[in-house]
Amino acid sequence: MVRRAARIVRAQVDRYGVEERIMSMKKARAIFHLSLFILVASALATNRHVNVLNGVCAKELRNETGRDKQLVEITLKLEGKTVPGKPKVVSAQNTFDALFEKTSGASSVSAKAGENTWTCYAVEDEEYVIGWIAEKSWFAKKSRMFGYCSEPFIAHAGRTVEFSPGMPATFEYDLRNPPEGIETFPAEVILHRETIKNHKRTFLSWGGQQKIERPSVLKISGLAGGTYKISARACDIQLNARTPALCEDCEVEIKPGLANRFDPNYPQIDSTVEAGDVTIRGTLYGPDKKPLANRIVHVIPLTSHGYDLSLYYPASTTDSNGRFEFVGVRPNRLVYVSSENTSVNLGKQSLVENASVSVDIVLGLKKLPVAVGKPLEEIVIDWKGGDTRRLSDLAGKIVVLDIWATWCAPCLRALPELNSLATKVSAGSNIVFVALSVDHDKAIWERVVEESNWKALKHGVLDRTKNSYVFDRPIPYTMVIDEIGVVRAEGHGLDIGLELNKLAKTSGQPGAGTPGRSPEK
């Protein structure tokens, strides 16, 4: 009885097991069919989405470019490995837009067509670039913008454009071993990414400003390959102290997938004397025109944009007679000779090869005040020919005072026109045109005047050692002064003819447009 009962139980269990297996197979079959249905539906939806994207893209491009331009379909093909992301096609006139997912500029929507392949519409024969927008998850890990931008390409129907962002690179700036005597820390370093914005090449800060407090290697990772600019500065540079300091702006190429290390371009301290170098000598005076001993004087090289911080000359200390000397200054450059915030300018005409230049510096001079409606302060002028007189000696005449220098290119361009006006106006009138130079090298001034044909101008030079004032405004600068020494007009680009005509109405003198009368006999 027991054995029979056991057989009955086992038979019932086997029957339930078979039924469970049968049910499991049915469920699996149902799940398979459902999954297949979902896959097919997804594929159809994706294809529809691609068509919608391409349709939207074509519509937007046509709206932006006009009906008369042909839209073509192009294929984008990713080559090699890179970070997760998607391509973005923008106009080559604004590569800036290729670097960011959301920008104000227009872009062509790319739809994925296969493995590492996308399609998009573009205007035929227009120039484009491809950007690579990294996924946000990658940003969170790297905390840096990738910044890939391809080389420009021209859109043609059926064209396949291959692009390769590559793997992220690392920028390394080695500040571990600055030369002795060069101020480097704390340093501020900014890496800039090259872009094109509104047809113009520019550089965009990429990664923010980095402050370096001590000798180390600055590292910025997660960068795409391309052209960058390094801007590095020692903080709080004191230009008048002329302490050699880190200050550079240079373009570099960063290669993808590598650690790109760059050494700073530290300033050069030029203490050598080479063939053709210039010698500068002079005397340093105080406000009372007495020589100053044991004072520091610097020669500061200049460029067309300001101070040349890549080159330094050793300072000179004045002797007991206030004399200073610089030997080995590079020729054919523009320089300041400076002491205690007072500088004099020497142009390329003075610093020719093997030249020996004499220049004096006077400290503590006041700035020459100029105000319309007020008399001009007394100044002493060394006239060409050897006389030294005061400007007030021209009282009773209308004076057109033009301030210039031989090293000032705009001045040299303006003087011929001023001479022509003086030729027209001066004869038989009470108007005198004075070309007052602020050159410190009188020999160069005399030579330039001799070689010119500015015969209608009265030439003089402003010697700081003979004056209590210094003229410190940008030149060329012009003043119109009436018969009693009052400034009636002043400024840059002054319409002298118009101002003389205004003054003529009150003084009774012929203006610039009125022929002069011959003296009555």
pLDDT at 48: 46
Quick one: pLDDT at residue 100? Answer: 84
Kindly report the number of other CB atoms within 10 A of residue 317's CB atom: 12
Mean pLDDT, range 85-90, rounded to an integer: 92
Cα–Cα distance, 104 to 96 (Å, whole number):
10
Domains 169-266 and 366-507 share a fold: no
Cis before 87 (ω within 30): no
pLDDT of residue 516: 36
Residue 96 pLDDT: 87
How much of the chain exceeds pLDDT 90, in percent?
Answer: 57
* Over residues 479-508, mean pLDDT: 89
Strands of 30-168, DSSP E: 71-78, 85-91, 107-108, 111-114, 117-123, 127-134, 148-149, 153-154, 160-163
Q: What percent of the chain has pLDDT over 70?
A: 80
Kindly state the average pLDDT of the residues 336-363.
90
More confident residue, 190 or 236: 190
- What is the average per-residue pLDDT within 150-165? 95
Q: At residue 142, does pLDDT exceed 50?
A: no
Query: Does the pLDDT of residue 2 top 60, yes or no?
Result: no
Q: Which of 469, 294, 282 is nearest to 364 (CA)?
A: 469
Contact predicate 500/511, CB 8 Å? yes
Average pLDDT, the chain: 84
Map 398-416 to HEC letters: EEEEEEECCCCHHHHHHHH
Q: Radius of gyration (Cα) for the chain, nearest Å?
A: 39
Percentage helix, strand, coil, to 5, in the chain? Answer: 25, 35, 40
Q: Which residues, 6 or more positions from 181, have their beta carbon under 8 angstroms from its beta carbon?
A: 244, 269
For domain 366-507, the CATH class is: alpha beta
pTM flag (> 0.75): no
What is the H or E stretch that residue 487 is in?
strand 487-491
- 3-state SS track over 89-121: EEEHHHHHHHHCCCCCCCEECCEEEECCEEEEE
Candidates 2.60.120.10, 2.60.40.1120, 2.40.50.360, 3.40.50.300; CATH matching 169-266:
2.60.40.1120
What would the mean pLDDT of 460-485 be, rounded to a whole number? 92
* Cα distance between residue 188 and residue 205, in whole Å: 13
Cα(212)–Cα(188) distance, integer angstroms: 6
Residue range 71-163 forms a domain whose CATH class is mainly beta
**Helix/strand/coil (H/E/C) assignment for every residue in 259-313:** EEEECCCCCEECCCCCCCCEEEEEEEECCCCCECCCCEEEEEEEECCEECCCEEC
- Per-residue confidence (pLDDT) for residue 4, from 0 to 100: 53
198: confidence class by pLDDT, cuts 50, 70, 90: confident
The per-residue pLDDT for 348 is 87
What residue ranges do the domains of the chain occupy? Answer: 71-163, 169-266, 269-362, 366-507
- pLDDT value at residue 317: 95
**pLDDT per position as a tens digit, 421-432:** 999 988 778 999
Decide: residue 140, CB within 10 A, 0-12 exposed, 13-18 middle, 19+ buried.
exposed
What does the pLDDT read at residue 111? 82
Tell whether domain 269-362 is in CATH 2.60.40.1120. yes
Higher pLDDT, 480 or 139: 480
Query: What pLDDT is stored for residue 520 in this prediction?
Result: 36
Q: What is the pLDDT of residue 386?
A: 83
Q: What is the pLDDT of residue 104?
A: 59
Residue scoring higher pLDDT (301 or 181): 301
Q: Look at 120-124, 457-461, 505-509 and tell me which has the smallest mean pLDDT.
A: 505-509
Residue 342 one-letter amino acid: T
Cβ partners under 8 Å of residue 208, min gap 6: 190
Length, in residues, of the chain: 521
389 vs 467: CA distance, rounded Å? 11
Average pLDDT over residues 261-287: 93
pLDDT of 158 reads: 92
pLDDT at position 241 = 59
With H, G, I as helix, E, B as strand and everything else as coil, classify residue 27.
helix
Would you say 163 and 110 are in contact if contact means Cβ atoms under 8 Å apart? no
Nearest to 224 by CA among 164, 172, 169, 261: 169
The CA distance from 47 to 61, in Å, is: 21
Interval 33-74: pLDDT, tens: 666 666 555 544 444 444 444 444 445 555 555 556 789 999
Confidence check: pLDDT of 332 > 70: yes
Give per-residue pLDDT as tens, 370-423: 999 999 999 999 999 889 999 999 999 999 999 999 989 999 999 999 999 999
Q: Which residues pair with 299 in a beta bridge?
A: 337
**Of 421, 412, 492, residue with least CA distance to 452:** 412
